Amino acid sequence: MEDIGTVRAAIAVIYVLQLYEDDVARNGGESRIKNPGGYFRALTRMVKAGKIDLTVELLAMRRRRMS
């Protein structure tokens, strides 16, 4: 993803995969994310547009997982 850079793209991949895994674990094997690739593409568009900050999202995920 040249638009957001390789590091941010890698972070976005990890973020989407972790969201998917957490959702499956919480919902008995079902995930609300039906298309992780599409979710990733939408996430990268939001990062590029400045609508979402991956640092903030990762910290929020960490807080949720630790509580």
pLDDT digits (tens, 9 = 90+) for 7-63: 999 999 999 999 999 999 988 888 889 999 999 999 999 999 999 999 999 999 999
How far, CA to CA in Å, does 22 sit from each of 17, 31, 46?
Answer: 9, 9, 21
How far, CA to CA in Å, does 56 sit from each of 20, 44, 59?
Answer: 18, 15, 5
Sign of CA dihedral 58, 47, 20, 17: negative
Domain boundaries, the chain: 6-66
Strands (E) across 1-67 are located at: none
**What pTM was computed for the model?**
0.83
